Amino acid sequence: MKVKPFRNEPLTDFSKKSNVEIQKRALASVKGQLGKTFPMVVDGKKLRSDGRIVSYNPSNKDEVIARFYKGTKEIARRAVESAYKKFEEWRYIFPEERASYLFKAAALVRKRKFEINAWMIYETGKNYAEADGDTAEAIDFMEFYAREMLRYAARQPVTPIKGERNELVYLPLGVGITIPPWNFPFAILVGMTSAAIVTGNTVVLKPSSDSPMMGKIFCDIMKEVGLPDGVLNFLPGSGGEVGDTLVGHPKTRFITFTGSMEVGKHIYELASKVQHGQIWLKRVVAEMGGKDCIIVDKETNVDVAVKDVVASAFGFQGQKCSACSRAIVDKTVYSKFVNKLKTEVGKIQVGSPTENNSMGAVINENARKSILNYIRIGKREGKLLVGGGKARGNGYFIKPTVFIDIKPDSRLAQEEVFGPVLAVIKSNDYEQSLKIANNTIYGLTGAVYTRNRKKIKAAKKHLLIGNLYFNRKCTGALVGAHPFGGFNMSGTDSKAGGRDYLLLFLQAKLMSEKI
């Protein structure tokens, strides 16, 4: 199979009125489809139960996006068993054929981009650009992983030995459980799931209860392009009942998870226990939280740094594991930075994402309560610069909030808030900035703003950060260009969208023949 070199999907330019109008028409069309009820799908069969999961619009909390029949322990066990049976067929499908499903699905998503954006805007509160970037990344993941599978399926280099014929091949693992997050509800879900499928594994997808519609859309697309029944199974359900059953099942071979550190640790612990009849050690691919920073050195353009800190901290309401939640600023430019920061944050418009405001609502009431609690903590630990409470609207709106004079060891500087809250920390010098940046249990993303090449070299050497950027924001990783994943309690350094990622879904087999 010959394919063109990978290129990232272009983002839609919403500064053009025509694109805004197209997106608004898609929103109007999707609005007429809200409120329906959908089944689970296991082995191609539609299943119903007594329970329901209801997806609401976080920016209009009384509006139901969709209802889904809720999985049970019995259905979860059935899903793994049927996926295990299907694996015995799917594993032998030629890699080129498996890759073709991803290419077809990517083309279909490309055609339906504005519609998928619209569902995301309603279900998770992303504005136009954030939703469009999410959909584009989903396309990138499928295009990239399809090509990567072809690379791994090709003849692998081994050292030649006289008198032997040696061959190294990569085999799929088995049944995978995909547990994606709500904050990149399409891109990460598609990336995790498509990587498992294209490598020859079968999947039980348990979507986030805050964004199940995005999982349904992807499953429908894969069915439309002809993916055989049972390769991908759709099972909404609670983490405690369905999630734990899926993770703990002895025929589950691997789990891919993106979400909070607490849930990630629980999955890791549960998966480590070998169940009766289990003949492997389960593999866990986890991308968890972050306490990401931007270092602002005295030798930099403060205006540029301020704009990028704001974009990194408050894009999608700060609900990104890569979001900047700590700005570490040299004392020489601290006052200047703070003054400009206050002005820039004041420009942010909070409101309904259907009207393409800068910031929408946070995902649900529990998230809002948690963020408001951290705002109360921030008022004790530092000085409130701007924001500091709820914003108006019939949703879970919070004002973009900045605290200054925060100490490096305070709770606001150490704990993941996952919302529109930024802690500004004053540093005595660049060396101290590097130490402050490393002083958390996380190691996901970060950025450094400086013109000094020696300081850039020092940051490259000393910062333990999975995705480290210089003189650009710390969010917005692109598939292929910025393989994504971090260290320590940020996860297993999975490097999604990179050349090593598919290895996490494969195992190597060496065959040597004497000649």
Catalytic residues: 287, 321
Closest CA to 337 of 294, 288, 286: 294
Closest CA to 323 of 221, 423, 210, 445: 445
Closest CA to 182 of 351, 71, 57: 57
Chain position carrying tokens 């609502």: 361
Residue 90 token pair: 């799917």
**Per-residue DSSP letters for 265-314?**
HHHHHHHHSPPTT--SPPEEEEE----EEEEE-SSS-HHHHHHHHHHHHH
Q: How does strand 45-47 pair with strand 40-42?
A: antiparallel
Chain position carrying tokens 């499908």: 93
- CA–CA separation, 196 and 430 (whole Å): 42
Residue type, 506: L
- CA–CA separation, 134 and 139 (whole Å): 9
Residue type, 412: L
Residue 179 token pair: 């547990």
Return the bridge partners of 453, or none. none
Q: Are 318 and 359 in contact (CB under 8 A)?
A: no
Angle at 182 between CA 145 and CA 46, to 5 degrees: 80
Spatial neighbors of 238 by CB under 8 A, at least 6 apart, are 70, 209
Helix ranges (H only) for 405-452 are 411-414, 430-438
Residue type, 19: N
Q: Are 294 and 324 in contact (CB under 8 A)?
A: yes
Q: CA of 443: how far to CAs of 187, 191, 292, 419, 496, in Å? A: 22, 22, 7, 18, 15
Strands (E) across 331-481 are located at: 383-386, 401-404, 421-427, 442-443, 445-449, 467-470
